[in-house]
Amino acid sequence: MFSLLRWKNYLPTAKGVLGINGRNLELVYPHNDRQFFPNVDGKIRCKELLAAHDIPVPKTFHVVDGPRTLAAWPEKLSKVDDFVVKPNRGYGGNGIMLIRRNGRGFISSGMTLDTAEISFHVVQICNGAFSLDNISDTAFFEETIVNHPALKQLIGDDVEGIADVRLIVRLQQPIMAMIRIPTGESEGKANLHQGGIGIGIDLATGRTLDGCYRNRIVTTHPETGRAFRGISVPGFADMLEFSKHISQIVGLGYIGIDFACDHRSGPVALEVNARPGLNIQIANQSGLKSRLR
């Protein structure tokens, strides 16, 4: 909140900035019926629901919800070289590991790991270490998405991980968008709290605007020096189209959808949030309230 207030003080468009109370009172409570929260609060169920309605999602390889499924993962993943481990009820990139097979072991964020270490991480996920409410959770293994080549211009060549596109949708209308990119420090995740950079997207053209890094506005990448503006976000038109359907499918009137754009299959929906964060306003230098009007 502090950073949003600080930003509010020096931007002329500040009037339309939405705070957490405003988001809850004006958007989340009136538009999101509690009975539909379970459609999005777990990523596994949300992906199943979207896939059943022909929205592309990353493939779920295996779900761990107890000792038997825990013991089974090495065999289930034996033919897969790249995969992601996630908490079903995680948020903000916490607990997500991008893993690559490396000889007889694995590698993640530059660290070598063995099967037992991945199992330990999975157990931590199941114990609720990364879940929304710290109660026990389910872990799952997911297909690794590979960035569309057009995104290399934004991310740089040596940074691992994918960009994601956050779309805010109200009553089936997309009202704001940003693309978040991973950085050297964000360990393959694009979430802003992990050190990712959020870059506003012009909804009409699908092109990038300026960025936001650690709650400051930036026009060039702090690590590579590349300018952010004017890059056409691959798959953006499809994402806009999918987002209208997703809002209907999950039964919620105010959501944040995270998409990625795979180099082969194009846009995929990663997850849906019923209480999307407010930093997207900094990345767009524009308030959500003014968009609602």
Ligand X SMILES: Nc1ncnc2c1ncn2[C@@H]1O[C@H](COP(=O)(O)OP(=O)(O)O)[C@@H](O)[C@H]1O
- Asked if 144 touches ligand X (CB under 6 A), the answer is yes
- Asked if 91 touches ligand X (CB under 6 A), the answer is yes
Nearer to ligand X, 142 or 210 (CB): 142
Between vectors from CA 144 to CA 138 and to CA 147, what angle results, nearest 5°? 140
- Asked if 213 touches ligand X (CB under 6 A), the answer is no
Tell me how far, at minimum, the Cβ of 258 lies from Mg ion, in Å.
Answer: 4
3-state secondary structure of 138: coil
Nearer to Mg ion, 41 or 258 (CB): 258
Tell me how far, at minimum, the Cβ of 270 lies from ligand X, in Å.
Answer: 4
- Asked if 93 touches ligand X (CB under 6 A), the answer is yes
Tell me how far, at minimum, the Cβ of 258 lies from ligand X, in Å.
Answer: 4
| Total of residues contacting ligand X (CB under 6 A) | 22
- Asked if 142 touches Mg ion (CB under 5 A), the answer is no
Contact of residue 288 among Mg ion, ligand X, none (CB under 5-8 Å per partner type): none
- Listed in order, strand segments (DSSP E) in 16-96 are 60-64, 82-87
Please name which of 5, 19, 163, 143 lies closest in space to residue 83, comparing C-alpha atoms. 143
**DSSP code at position 113:** E
**DSSP code at position 92:** T
Position among 182, 198, 200, 211 found at the interface with ligand X (CB under 6 A): 182
- Asked if 42 touches ligand X (CB under 6 A), the answer is no
Position among 39, 131, 138, 191 found at the interface with ligand X (CB under 6 A): 191
Between vectors from CA 257 to CA 20 and to CA 94, what angle results, nearest 5°? 75
Residues 30, 190, 55, 98: is their CA dihedral positive or negative? negative
- Asked if 258 touches Mg ion (CB under 5 A), the answer is yes
Nearer to Mg ion, 137 or 258 (CB): 258
Please name which of 46, 74, 72, 75 lies closest in space to residue 60, comparing C-alpha atoms. 46
Contact 249, 49 (CB under 8 A): yes
Cα separation values, 88 from 41, 127, 204, Å: 8, 12, 33
Contact residues toward ligand X (CB under 6 A) are 58, 84, 90-93, 96, 98, 142-145, 161-162, 164, 182, 189-191, 258, 270-271
